[in-house]
Every structure is written in structure tokens, then in C-alpha cells.
Amino acid sequence: MNTLPIKLPDVGEGVTEAELVEWHVEVGDLVREDDVIAAVMTDKATVEIPSLYDGKIIARTGEVGSVLAIGSDLVLIETDADGPAAAPPDPVEEVTPDPVVVAPAPPKAPAPVAHGTARPPRPENAPVLASPAIRARSRQAGLDLRQVTGTGPAGRITPADLDAVFERGPAPVATKPAKRVGSEQIKVVGMRRKIAERMALANARIPHITVVEEVDVTALEDLRGQLNKTRGDQPKLTLLPILAAALCKAVVDHPEMNAHFDDDAGFITRHAPVHIGIATMTDAGLTVPVLKHAEALGLFQSATEIARLAEAARTSKATRDEMSGSTITITSLGPLGAIATTPIINHPEVAILGVNKMAIRPHWDGQQFVPRKMMNLSASFDHRVIDGWDAAVFVQKLKTLLETPALIFVEA
């Protein structure tokens, strides 16, 4: 029987460390070769680590949230297999997470009163003065004596007091809301920590300017409806592929928007290909898979690829390449969206397009108010390299394309 280490493998080119986000085994578990023992994450891509041998787990390294170096021991396994000799390990301490303080259950409400009660007669926790016969009678009736006013000496409850309560019939019981106590500590790990780091970086280093514009998307929605009627076996078109096409069209005249700003080196890199980050909500948090070369895709090709990327992101199967390399980003809350938002730029990009919810609103056509499908765009820009005038002109270009969608598909 050998004791062998299973090390954290190289999970991507240039990656030197990874965050441990999930254990799939406990010390003492028996595993077979290729069973998943842990999951690690780097650059928003989650990778499952399989066992290399059949055997018994005798030690684990680190806890969820730990950052491990590539090549370091992940677990030690007792196995009949041959492998690289392992030095006798120091005992690996299983780290117990900080205890979670759980709020105690609120006190149970008094038992239902069968015949009714009076208002609370005495201070809370004051003793109830009553004879054994009175107590027996109240138990049989399901009556809480704490809710009965005693008229006898020192507040003692008399038979007449019980008779008076029963004669009055049911009365509302004044209840006091229970106090909630305790707190819960939730460690920020995995995807949530990556999101927090990137948001803090973008907010700290990028001075944002956001331009909000109202867009009449009635014609666009009519076009989308017609295309979906004749789509055949192709995927149903959502708004995103059309927005991606409009974005590709707009950056032709505004290449400064499809760029990265290296503020450390002081260089702006304008990109010819349009690689659009599509912000996607998953169970683990917000991820941004990338629609590569959006400028070369037709609407239905774009729809197919967006759906594939979103599914890969939601199931944590997106590759490192699929989660990196965006040059500009689209974010949308769909039908849950607000009237306007202030999207945060995906560093080191310089622009992000936010899509808000669509609604039918009255619109003045020059002669009268008519119902139109309206939607607000919220676009944020890096104000260090994008002036407010240029930002407004770019948003107006997008507005024109979306309100006259035929222009999206007309060659210059």
C-alpha cells in the first residue's frame, strides 16, 4: 500500500494558482480513478480535478476559499497503485469553518384560546395567582390564564373572572412581535470573490460617465417577430443578437469604443475584431462569456453562439478562452430590468452597453400621442479616454440603428 499525493494540475496557460471552491471528498472516503475530488477556479473558469488512482483519501489540503499554487499537493491518497514517492507528510489539519451563528427560533405563540380572553392583565413574566380548581377549569377550556384579569386580592383570578371571560366570547389577543436575534457569516469565495475583486478594480480605477437614451424599438420588435416566424430549425432570436449586430455596426465609425486602456503603461489598444462580452447570470454569480468575432456572424449564428456560451457558463463548463478576451460588453437584466441602470465597465475595456426593460409608452409623433415599444439604453464609458461628447454621439448612433433596424444590415 502506497501513500501518494494528487497535486493541483496546470489548469491553463500562464496560470500559477487557483482558488479551491468545492471539495467533493472527505478524509476517509474511498474513491476510484477519475472520480472528481475537488473543483478549483481561475479567471472565472471552474475546473473539476479528478483522482489519479483508486484508493482512500487520508488527507486534504486547505479549505474552500484557499488559493493554492499549481503543483502543490491537493490530497494524499492511500492506494495500491504505483506513483511518485511522497515524502512523509506533516499532519494536514482539517480547517473548520468559523461557526455560523443561527438565530434561535422565535418563541411559540400561546395555544389557541377556546372561549376568549381579555387584554393582557399584568406585566410580562408576572406570576399567575389562581387556585388549583381555577387552573384545572382553564386547562379544560384551553384558556391561557396569563391573559385573564384577576379581580381578587393581589390580582388573584376568581371563578367570576373566568365566567366573565367565557360570557364575553372570543376577543383578539394582543400579540407582541418576536425579536429576531443572531447573525450569519458567509465567507466570500469562488465566483463571488472574483466578481467582488473585478468590480472593486473597475470602480477604483475607472471614472465612469453614463449616458441614458430612450429608444423606440417598435420597428425592431416587428422585424424580430417576422424573422422568428420564418426561422425554421434555427434558434429563436432574442434582442441580444440584434444588439450585438448594431454594436458591430456602430464601432466601425467609433473604433475608440472597441478598445482596451492599459492605464499602467499609458496605452490605448483599439481592436479590429469585435469580441463582445455577454454578461450572464449563473447560480454562482455574474459571468461574462465572450462572443468572438461578432462582426463576422449572422443573426442566427450569433443567437446560436450566445445560447451555447450562456449554457456553458451556467454549467461551469466554459473554457478559459470562452471567458476571456472581450473588447466591449453588453449587460441586460431582461424583463426584470429597471428604467435605467449605471453599468460598471469590464476592466480594461472602455465601454459597456446596458439594456433596460422594454415597455409600451405614449410617444409623440408630431401630431398625437401613440403607443410605442420603448426601451432605455444605459451606456457607461471610461471618462479618462472617452469624452462626454463622443459618448453621446456613439449612443445616438446606436439609437438610430435600433430605431431603423434595416440600417444595421445595409452595407456602407
Taking only the tens place, the pLDDT of each residue in 248-268 is 999 999 999 999 999 999 999
- Nearest CA to 112 among 35, 173, 22, 64? 173
- Nearest CA to 41 among 23, 61, 19, 16? 19
Bridge partners of residue 171, in order along the sequence: none
The whole-number pLDDT of residue 95 equals 43
The whole-number pLDDT of residue 169 equals 67
- Nearest CA to 359 among 337, 343, 342? 337
Active-site annotation holds for 98: no
Helices (H), 39-100: none
Helices (H), 119-168: 132-141, 159-168
Bridge partners of residue 262, in order along the sequence: 267
Judge whether residue 209 has pLDDT over 60.
yes
Judge whether residue 226 has pLDDT over 90.
yes
Return d(Cα 251, Cα 282) in angstroms, integer: 29
Q: Which CATH number fits domain 190-409: 3.30.559.10, 3.40.50.720, 3.40.50.12660, 3.10.310.30?
A: 3.30.559.10
Q: Residues 274-283: pLDDT tens digits?
A: 999 999 888 8
Q: Where are the beta strands (DSSP E) in 195-310?
A: 208-216, 259-262, 267-270, 276-278, 280-282, 285-287, 290-291
8 Å CB contact between 352 and 341: no
37 exposure class (CB count in 10 Å sphere: 0-12, 13-18, 19+): buried
Q: What is the mean pLDDT of residues 373-379?
A: 95
pLDDT band at 320 (very low <50, low <70, confident <90, very high): confident
Mean of pLDDT over the chain = 85
8 Å CB contact between 25 and 60: yes
Judge whether residue 60 has pLDDT over 90.
yes
CATH code for residues 109-174: 4.10.320.10
Judge whether residue 56 has pLDDT over 50.
yes
Return d(Cα 322, Cα 291) in angstroms, integer: 8
Percent of the chain with pLDDT over 70: 87
- pTM check: above 0.85: no
Q: What is the mean pLDDT of residues 352-371?
A: 92
Per-domain boundaries in the chain: 2-102, 109-174, 190-409
Measured at the alpha carbon of residue 197, what is the angle toward residues 193 and 202, in degrees to the nearest 5? 150
The whole-number pLDDT of residue 101 equals 44
Q: Which fold has domain 2-102?
A: OB fold (Dihydrolipoamide Acetyltransferase, E2P) (2.40.50)
The whole-number pLDDT of residue 128 equals 78
Judge whether residue 340 has pLDDT over 50.
yes
The whole-number pLDDT of residue 105 equals 45
pLDDT band at 96 (very low <50, low <70, confident <90, very high): very low
Q: Let me know if the fold of 109-174 is the same as that of 190-409.
A: no
- Nearest CA to 352 among 324, 381, 373? 381
Amino acid residing at 369: F
The whole-number pLDDT of residue 389 equals 96
The whole-number pLDDT of residue 47 equals 83
Judge whether residue 111 has pLDDT over 60.
no
Q: What is the mean pLDDT of residues 72-92?
A: 71
The whole-number pLDDT of residue 125 equals 57
The whole-number pLDDT of residue 16 equals 85
Least confident of 81-85, 185-189, 199-203: 81-85
The whole-number pLDDT of residue 112 equals 43
Judge whether residue 303 has pLDDT over 90.
yes
Of 261 and 104, the one with more pLDDT: 261
Q: How far is CA 321 from CA 42, 44, 324, 326, in A?
A: 12, 11, 5, 10
Q: Residues 2-53: pLDDT tens digits?
A: 899 999 988 777 778 888 888 999 999 999 988 999 988 876 577 889 999 9
Which SS3 state, helix, strand or coil, does residue 371 take? strand
| Catalytic residue of the set 271, 363, 383, 390 | 383
Of 341 and 118, the one with more pLDDT: 341
Active-site annotation holds for 387: yes
Of 146 and 72, the one with more pLDDT: 72
Q: What is the mean pLDDT of residues 302-329?
A: 92
Return d(Cα 25, Cα 7) in angstroms, integer: 15
